[in-house]
Chain A
Amino acid sequence: GENVEQHPSTLSVQEGDSAVIKCTYSDSASNYFPWYKQELGKRPQLIIDIRSNVGEKKDQRIAVTLNKTAKHFSLHITETQPEDSAVYFCAANYGGSQGNLIFGKGTKLSVKP
Protein backbone atom coordinates (compact mmCIF):
# COMPACT_ATOMS: atom_id res chain seq x y z
CA GLY A 1 0.00 0.00 0.00
CA GLU A 2 0.91 3.66 0.09
CA ASN A 3 3.86 4.10 2.41
CA VAL A 4 6.54 6.67 3.18
CA GLU A 5 9.34 5.57 5.47
CA GLN A 6 11.32 8.26 7.31
CA HIS A 7 14.57 7.94 9.27
CA PRO A 8 15.79 8.70 11.83
CA SER A 9 12.88 9.30 14.20
CA THR A 10 15.07 11.52 16.39
CA LEU A 11 18.24 13.42 15.58
CA SER A 12 20.41 15.50 17.87
CA VAL A 13 23.19 17.70 16.51
CA GLN A 14 25.43 20.45 17.76
CA GLU A 15 24.82 23.96 16.51
CA GLY A 16 26.70 24.50 13.28
CA ASP A 17 26.70 20.83 12.30
CA SER A 18 24.71 19.39 9.40
CA ALA A 19 21.57 17.29 9.68
CA VAL A 20 20.30 14.75 7.17
CA ILE A 21 16.87 13.12 7.14
CA LYS A 22 16.05 10.35 4.69
CA CYS A 23 12.78 9.08 3.23
CA THR A 24 11.74 6.32 0.90
CA TYR A 25 8.48 5.88 -0.98
CA SER A 26 6.86 2.99 -2.80
CA ASP A 27 4.74 4.43 -5.65
CA SER A 28 6.73 4.89 -8.86
CA ALA A 29 4.03 7.35 -10.02
CA SER A 30 4.91 9.78 -7.22
CA ASN A 31 6.26 13.03 -8.63
CA TYR A 32 5.97 15.59 -5.83
CA PHE A 33 7.96 15.45 -2.58
CA PRO A 34 7.44 18.22 -0.02
CA TRP A 35 9.09 18.66 3.36
CA TYR A 36 7.25 20.23 6.29
CA LYS A 37 8.51 21.67 9.56
CA GLN A 38 6.31 21.58 12.65
CA GLU A 39 7.33 23.58 15.67
CA LEU A 40 5.90 22.66 19.05
CA GLY A 41 2.21 23.45 19.25
CA LYS A 42 2.04 24.83 15.73
CA ARG A 43 0.77 23.64 12.38
CA PRO A 44 3.09 22.01 9.82
CA GLN A 45 4.54 24.46 7.29
CA LEU A 46 6.23 23.77 3.97
CA ILE A 47 9.96 24.48 3.94
CA ILE A 48 10.96 23.05 0.57
CA ASP A 49 9.64 20.73 -2.10
CA ILE A 50 11.03 18.93 -5.13
CA ARG A 51 9.48 17.48 -8.24
CA SER A 52 10.57 14.38 -10.08
CA ASN A 53 12.05 16.27 -13.02
CA VAL A 54 14.99 17.51 -10.90
CA GLY A 55 17.51 15.72 -8.72
CA GLU A 56 18.37 18.49 -6.27
CA LYS A 57 17.01 21.78 -5.02
CA LYS A 58 18.55 24.29 -2.62
CA ASP A 59 17.20 27.17 -0.59
CA GLN A 60 19.84 28.85 1.57
CA ARG A 61 20.81 26.32 4.28
CA ILE A 62 18.28 23.73 3.15
CA ALA A 63 18.61 21.30 0.27
CA VAL A 64 16.64 18.30 -0.90
CA THR A 65 17.90 15.49 -3.12
CA LEU A 66 15.85 12.94 -5.03
CA ASN A 67 16.85 9.56 -6.43
CA LYS A 68 13.89 8.33 -8.46
CA THR A 69 15.48 5.04 -9.36
CA ALA A 70 15.96 4.11 -5.73
CA LYS A 71 12.79 5.94 -4.60
CA HIS A 72 14.78 7.88 -2.00
CA PHE A 73 14.74 11.55 -1.12
CA SER A 74 16.61 13.40 1.59
CA LEU A 75 16.59 16.72 3.43
CA HIS A 76 19.92 18.36 4.23
CA ILE A 77 20.23 21.23 6.68
CA THR A 78 23.65 22.87 6.93
CA GLU A 79 24.99 25.16 9.65
CA THR A 80 22.16 24.18 11.97
CA GLN A 81 20.83 26.73 14.44
CA PRO A 82 18.75 26.25 17.61
CA GLU A 83 15.69 27.59 15.79
CA ASP A 84 15.92 24.63 13.41
CA SER A 85 14.78 22.44 16.32
CA ALA A 86 11.39 21.01 15.32
CA VAL A 87 9.73 17.93 13.87
CA TYR A 88 10.30 17.48 10.16
CA PHE A 89 7.95 15.49 7.92
CA CYS A 90 8.57 14.26 4.41
CA ALA A 91 5.71 13.42 2.07
CA ALA A 92 5.02 12.00 -1.37
CA ASN A 93 2.00 12.21 -3.59
CA TYR A 94 0.39 8.95 -4.56
CA GLY A 95 -1.21 8.12 -7.86
CA GLY A 96 0.76 10.77 -9.71
CA SER A 97 -0.13 14.42 -10.23
CA GLN A 98 -2.97 15.71 -8.06
CA GLY A 99 -2.54 12.64 -5.91
CA ASN A 100 -3.04 12.29 -2.20
CA LEU A 101 -0.18 13.33 0.11
CA ILE A 102 1.13 10.62 2.38
CA PHE A 103 3.50 11.67 5.15
CA GLY A 104 6.37 9.96 6.90
CA LYS A 105 6.23 9.58 10.66
CA GLY A 106 8.48 12.55 11.30
CA THR A 107 11.96 13.28 12.63
CA LYS A 108 12.41 15.24 15.83
CA LEU A 109 15.51 17.39 15.32
CA SER A 110 17.22 18.92 18.33
CA VAL A 111 20.00 21.45 17.79
CA LYS A 112 22.10 21.99 20.88
CA PRO A 113 23.73 25.39 21.36
Chain B
Amino acid sequence: GAGVSQSPSNKVTEKGKDVELRCDPISGHTALYWYRQSLGQGLEFLIYFQGNSAPDKSGLPSDRFSAERTGGSVSTLTIQRTQQEDSAVYLCASSSTTGTNTEAFFGQGTRLTVV
Protein backbone atom coordinates (compact mmCIF):
# COMPACT_ATOMS: atom_id res chain seq x y z
CA GLY B 1 0.00 0.00 0.00
CA ALA B 2 0.92 3.65 -0.15
CA GLY B 3 1.30 4.13 3.59
CA VAL B 4 1.39 2.42 6.96
CA SER B 5 -1.87 0.64 7.61
CA GLN B 6 -3.20 -0.35 11.01
CA SER B 7 -6.17 -2.49 11.91
CA PRO B 8 -8.60 -2.31 13.45
CA SER B 9 -9.12 1.45 13.59
CA ASN B 10 -11.13 1.10 16.76
CA LYS B 11 -11.38 -1.70 19.26
CA VAL B 12 -13.60 -1.93 22.31
CA THR B 13 -12.87 -4.86 24.58
CA GLU B 14 -13.85 -6.05 28.00
CA LYS B 15 -11.38 -5.94 30.84
CA GLY B 16 -9.46 -9.19 31.05
CA LYS B 17 -9.74 -10.06 27.35
CA ASP B 18 -6.78 -10.35 25.00
CA VAL B 19 -6.44 -8.10 21.94
CA GLU B 20 -4.28 -8.14 18.84
CA LEU B 21 -3.40 -5.00 16.92
CA ARG B 22 -1.97 -5.23 13.43
CA CYS B 23 0.45 -3.02 11.53
CA ASP B 24 1.28 -3.25 7.83
CA PRO B 25 4.38 -1.13 7.23
CA ILE B 26 5.41 0.49 3.98
CA SER B 27 6.85 -2.15 1.69
CA GLY B 28 10.61 -2.41 2.01
CA HIS B 29 10.87 -0.51 5.28
CA THR B 30 13.24 -2.30 7.61
CA ALA B 31 12.38 -0.42 10.79
CA LEU B 32 9.04 -0.70 12.60
CA TYR B 33 8.06 1.12 15.78
CA TRP B 34 5.12 0.82 18.15
CA TYR B 35 4.06 3.73 20.34
CA ARG B 36 1.18 4.34 22.72
CA GLN B 37 -0.55 7.70 23.01
CA SER B 38 -2.97 8.30 25.85
CA LEU B 39 -5.49 11.10 25.48
CA GLY B 40 -3.68 14.41 25.15
CA GLN B 41 -0.36 12.82 25.98
CA GLY B 42 2.94 12.14 24.25
CA LEU B 43 4.25 9.23 22.21
CA GLU B 44 5.29 6.50 24.62
CA PHE B 45 7.76 4.08 23.05
CA LEU B 46 6.80 0.40 23.27
CA ILE B 47 8.94 -1.71 20.95
CA TYR B 48 11.27 -1.30 17.96
CA PHE B 49 12.12 -3.79 15.21
CA GLN B 50 15.11 -3.16 12.93
CA GLY B 51 15.79 -5.67 10.18
CA ASN B 52 16.89 -9.04 11.50
CA SER B 53 18.21 -7.66 14.78
CA ALA B 54 16.67 -8.61 18.10
CA PRO B 55 13.82 -6.17 18.84
CA ASP B 56 14.22 -3.45 21.44
CA LYS B 57 11.49 -4.33 23.93
CA SER B 58 12.58 -1.91 26.61
CA GLY B 59 9.40 0.18 26.37
CA LEU B 60 6.87 -2.58 26.96
CA PRO B 61 5.08 -1.61 30.20
CA SER B 62 4.43 -5.13 31.48
CA ASP B 63 4.68 -8.78 30.52
CA ARG B 64 1.08 -8.58 29.31
CA PHE B 65 2.42 -6.79 26.24
CA SER B 66 4.22 -8.58 23.43
CA ALA B 67 4.87 -8.00 19.75
CA GLU B 68 6.19 -9.92 16.82
CA ARG B 69 7.13 -9.12 13.28
CA THR B 70 6.78 -11.94 10.81
CA GLY B 71 8.98 -12.11 7.72
CA GLY B 72 10.27 -8.62 8.34
CA SER B 73 6.95 -7.11 7.34
CA VAL B 74 3.63 -7.24 9.22
CA SER B 75 3.72 -6.74 12.97
CA THR B 76 1.21 -7.72 15.64
CA LEU B 77 1.04 -6.13 19.08
CA THR B 78 -0.72 -8.37 21.61
CA ILE B 79 -2.07 -7.23 24.94
CA GLN B 80 -3.17 -10.00 27.27
CA ARG B 81 -5.67 -9.64 30.11
CA THR B 82 -6.40 -6.02 29.17
CA GLN B 83 -6.82 -3.42 31.89
CA GLN B 84 -8.59 -0.07 31.77
CA GLU B 85 -5.25 1.75 31.88
CA ASP B 86 -4.40 0.10 28.54
CA SER B 87 -6.98 2.36 26.86
CA ALA B 88 -5.10 4.56 24.41
CA VAL B 89 -4.29 5.04 20.75
CA TYR B 90 -1.62 2.59 19.59
CA LEU B 91 0.47 4.00 16.77
CA CYS B 92 2.75 2.10 14.45
CA ALA B 93 5.43 3.69 12.28
CA SER B 94 7.91 2.41 9.75
CA SER B 95 11.02 3.79 8.12
CA SER B 96 13.75 2.85 5.72
CA THR B 97 16.95 2.83 7.76
CA THR B 98 19.51 1.65 5.24
CA GLY B 99 22.69 3.01 6.77
CA THR B 100 20.99 5.60 8.92
CA ASN B 101 17.64 6.72 10.28
CA THR B 102 15.23 8.35 7.87
CA GLU B 103 11.66 9.66 8.11
CA ALA B 104 9.31 7.49 10.12
CA PHE B 105 5.82 7.31 8.63
CA PHE B 106 2.95 6.75 11.03
CA GLY B 107 -0.21 4.76 10.60
CA GLN B 108 -3.58 6.17 11.56
CA GLY B 109 -3.52 4.28 14.84
CA THR B 110 -5.79 1.84 16.65
CA ARG B 111 -7.96 3.38 19.34
CA LEU B 112 -8.30 0.79 22.10
CA THR B 113 -10.99 1.18 24.73
CA VAL B 114 -11.10 -1.27 27.62
CA VAL B 115 -14.44 -1.30 29.43
Q: Give A residues with C-beta under 8 Å from B.
A: 2, 31-32, 34, 43-46, 49, 51, 89, 93, 97-106
Contacts and interface: CB of A to CB of B under 8 A. Distances in A.
A43 B106 contact: yes
Interface in B26-56: 31, 33, 35, 41-43, 45, 48, 50, 56
A11 B49 CA distance: 34
Given A32-B101, A43-B91, A103 B43 contact: yes
Contacts of A103: 35, 42-43, 45
Contacts of B31: 98
A106 B37 CA distance: 11
B63 to A, nearest CB: 19
A32 B42 contact: no
B68 to A, nearest CB: 17
Contact of B106 (A44, A98, A99, A105): A44
Nearest to B33: A101
A102 B33 CA distance: 10
Given A45-B106, A103-B43, 10 more contacts: A31-B100, A43-B91, A43-B106, A46-B104, A51-B100, A97-B101, A100-B48, A100-B50, A101-B93, A103-B42
Nearest to A89: B43
The 8 closest A-B pairs by CB, nearest first: A105-B42, A32-B101, A103-B43, A97-B100, A43-B106, A100-B48, A98-B97, A93-B101
19 contacts: A31-B101, A32-B100, A34-B103, A34-B104, A43-B109, A44-B43, A44-B91, A93-B101, A98-B50, A98-B97, A98-B100, A99-B101, A100-B33, A100-B45, A101-B48, A101-B93, A101-B101, A106-B41, A106-B43
